[in-house]
Amino acid sequence: MKYISTRGNVAPIGFIDMFLMGLGEDGGLIVPESIPTVSGKQLDQWAKLSYQELMFEIFSLYTNDEIPADDLKRLIQESYAGFTSPDVLPLTTLNDSLHVLELFHGPTFAFKDVALSFMGNLYAYVAKKQNQVINILGATSGDTGASAISSVRGKEGIQICILHPNGKVSRVQELQMTTVQDDNVLNLAVNGNFDDCQQVIKELFADIPFKSKYHLRAINSINFVRILAQSVYYFYAYLKLSEKARENGVNFSIPTGNFGNIFSGYLAKKMGVPIKQLVLATNENNILERFIREGVYKPEGFRSTHSPSMDIQIASNFERYLYYFVGEDAVAVTARMEKFKQEGQLTFTEAEVARIQQDITAYSVGNEECLNTIRTYQERYGYLLDPHSACGIAAYEGAGRKDDGAFVSLATAHPAKFDEAIRLIGIEQQFPERIQELFDKPQQQVIVDNVKADIVARLEGFYRVYQ
């Protein structure tokens, strides 16, 4: 298996090189040259596998044996040892057709741990094998940063800098990132929003001399390994449902911001998971919903919502979807992305919108609707949703076709991470100990304006130069 760029100007590379490259050096996103498929028979044979065993099988289709099987198995086992559920990702049934896949039982209580616990270990493995310094640069609206820091803090050969929007993450997210005292961690709190942070890091990844000098590495979903690791939970959810529950197929409702969570489902479907509907849930930052409903991809005023991790306008993985939408034609992707850069928007024809809607159904969730959903599900099922997971459920309620098989709604964070919203509906929750203890710890972060030169100066003072 080789990997190429959506813009067509990266010579095919192997798995480890793809992992290290992160963003394509031509500014595109990395995708596999061809997507491996899994037959129904093979899927059935995987039904009894543990999460770790399933992940090993799926990754083996992509790694070209560049990581010996025993090493890959060990890395996977170690990555999920810190998850608190024996199932890693428990599937909770709320009613005959609605199931919630809980992706938040990792060290930082959000779904990002599913991929990043593994990626942290993989970076440490590569650093050791290749005697490399790994300088990680990431942008976060709160969860990716906390999870990435947790996965590499104190690890030899790795430095990590995370940019987050100052004052626009939840209190717990901020504490999770900034109470880490290890020397290999730098938190930059940027006076701006998540899109500003993401813009800066994408520019730095596209600056090849800078990237090479520091050997910059990505943990965001621009890195295909993130997407691949997240695709595993779609297989897992499908296989965890009883044969009876999934006899008419399976559908997913997916809280989405950077398009990574849903793109992983799109990939799993292309690999052979018999998924019928992919329902994309956004909050009031609904560029993706407008793209799917109206065929206009255009950022509009940023809003702070009760689901701050999804307060995103420009979605990284949109380009990966575009690549498959235009028939894996890198020239067409480049032309459209160039147009987007020039004109600030992309429009799609009616016929194209109809095709997009065959792939994905979209629903945007207002702030009040988000809170009402949390309240209703607490009353109806005694189940406390976090505001992001509530967007997924609201989208299932508002846009899912219920007569079309089982529905799995992805629960992407623990409600304790977003107590600001939970309190608004009058619910007082007990925090898990690992969250409660954060409130007594000192914080370390550097507040910077959204000025690229200032951010670069901070990075240059922090990263080790690769010799």
Ligand X SMILES: N[C@@H](CCOP(=O)(O)O)C(=O)O
Least Å distance, CB 403 to ligand PLP, is 27
Q: Is 165 an interacting residue with respect to ligand PLP (CB under 6 A)?
A: no
* Chain centroid offset of residue 431 CA: 24
Q: Which residue has the tokens 């019928």?
A: 276
Please give the positions annotated as active site: 112
Do residues 80 and 151 touch, judged by C-beta distance below 8 A? Answer: no
> CA-CA distance, 12 to 10, in Å (whole number)?
6
Q: Is 282 an interacting residue with respect to ligand X (CB under 6 A)?
A: no
Which residues, 6 to 35, sit near ligand PLP by CB under 6 A? none
Q: CA–CA distance from 225 to each of 104, 161, 193, 229 (Å)?
A: 19, 19, 25, 6
Least Å distance, CB 261 to ligand PLP, is 4
Q: Which stretch binds ligand X (CB under 6 A): 86-94, 137-145, 345-353, 367-375?
A: 137-145
Do residues 407 and 396 touch, judged by C-beta distance below 8 A? Answer: yes
Do residues 110 and 387 touch, judged by C-beta distance below 8 A? Answer: no
Least Å distance, CB 465 to ligand PLP, is 32
Q: Which stretch binds ligand PLP (CB under 6 A): 1-9, 66-74, 258-266, 346-354?
A: 258-266
CB closer to ligand PLP out of 135 and 286? 286
Q: Is 309 an interacting residue with respect to ligand X (CB under 6 A)?
A: yes
Tokens of 199: 């813009």
> CA-CA distance, 290 to 367, in Å (whole number)?
17
Q: How many residues bind ligand X (CB under 6 A)?
A: 13
- Of the candidate residues 261, 286, 305, 373, the single one contacting ligand PLP (CB under 6 A): 261
Q: Which residue has the tokens 């890395």?
A: 75
> CA-CA distance, 117 to 132, in Å (whole number)?
20
Q: Is 144 an interacting residue with respect to ligand X (CB under 6 A)?
A: yes
Q: How many residues bind ligand PLP (CB under 6 A)?
A: 17
Q: Which stretch binds ligand X (CB under 6 A): 135-143, 264-272, 354-362, 426-434?
A: 135-143
What DSSP designation does 326 have? T
Helices within 14-111 (DSSP H only): 15-21, 40-45, 51-60, 69-80
The site partner of 140 among ligand PLP, ligand X, none (C-beta below 5 to 8 Å per kind) is ligand X
Least Å distance, CB 242 to ligand X, is 31
Q: Which stretch binds ligand PLP (CB under 6 A): 12-20, 33-41, 249-257, 443-451?
A: 249-257
Q: Is 143 an interacting residue with respect to ligand PLP (CB under 6 A)?
A: yes
Q: Is 307 an interacting residue with respect to ligand X (CB under 6 A)?
A: no
> CA-CA distance, 154 to 174, in Å (whole number)?
19
The site partner of 462 among ligand PLP, ligand X, none (C-beta below 5 to 8 Å per kind) is none
Least Å distance, CB 326 to ligand X, is 22
Do residues 141 and 283 touch, judged by C-beta distance below 8 A? Answer: no
Q: Is 319 an interacting residue with respect to ligand X (CB under 6 A)?
A: no
Q: Which residues of 423-456 are buried (b: 16+ CB within 10 A; e: fewer)?
A: eeeeeeeebeeebeebeeeeeebeebebeeeebe
Site string for ligand X, 64-93 (x = CB under 6 A): ------------------------------
Q: Is 278 an interacting residue with respect to ligand PLP (CB under 6 A)?
A: no
> Which parts of 412-458 are beta strand (E)?
446-449
Least Å distance, CB 438 to ligand X, is 17
Q: Other CB atoms closer than 10 Å to residue 181's CB: what's the count?
A: 12
Q: Is 178 an interacting residue with respect to ligand X (CB under 6 A)?
A: no
> CA-CA distance, 23 to 422, in Å (whole number)?
36
3-state secondary structure string across 146-184: HHHHHHHCCCCCEEEEEEEECCCCCHHHHHHHHCCCCCC
Site string for ligand PLP, 292-311 (x = CB under 6 A): -----------------xx-
Strand pairing report for 275-282 and 91-93: unpaired
Q: Is 388 an interacting residue with respect to ligand PLP (CB under 6 A)?
A: yes
- Of the candidate residues 79, 141, 184, 313, the single one contacting ligand X (CB under 6 A): 141
How crowded is the C-beta side of 111, counted as CA atoms within 13 Å?
A: 32
- Of the candidate residues 116, 169, 218, 413, the single one contacting ligand PLP (CB under 6 A): 413
CB closer to ligand X out of 63 and 316? 316
> CA-CA distance, 161 to 258, in Å (whole number)?
20
Which residues, 241 to 270, sit near ligand X by CB under 6 A? 257-258, 260
The partner residues of 110 in beta bridges, in order of sequence, read 413
Q: Is 110 an interacting residue with respect to ligand PLP (CB under 6 A)?
A: yes
The partner residues of 407 in beta bridges, in order of sequence, read 98, 251
Q: Other CB atoms closer than 10 Å to residue 129's CB: what's the count?
A: 11
Which residues, 202 to 241, sit near ligand PLP by CB under 6 A? 221
Residues lying near ligand X in the complex (CB under 6 A): 140-145, 220-221, 257-258, 260, 309, 316
Under the rule (CB under 6 A), what is the footprint of ligand PLP?
110, 141, 143, 221, 255-262, 309-310, 388, 412-413
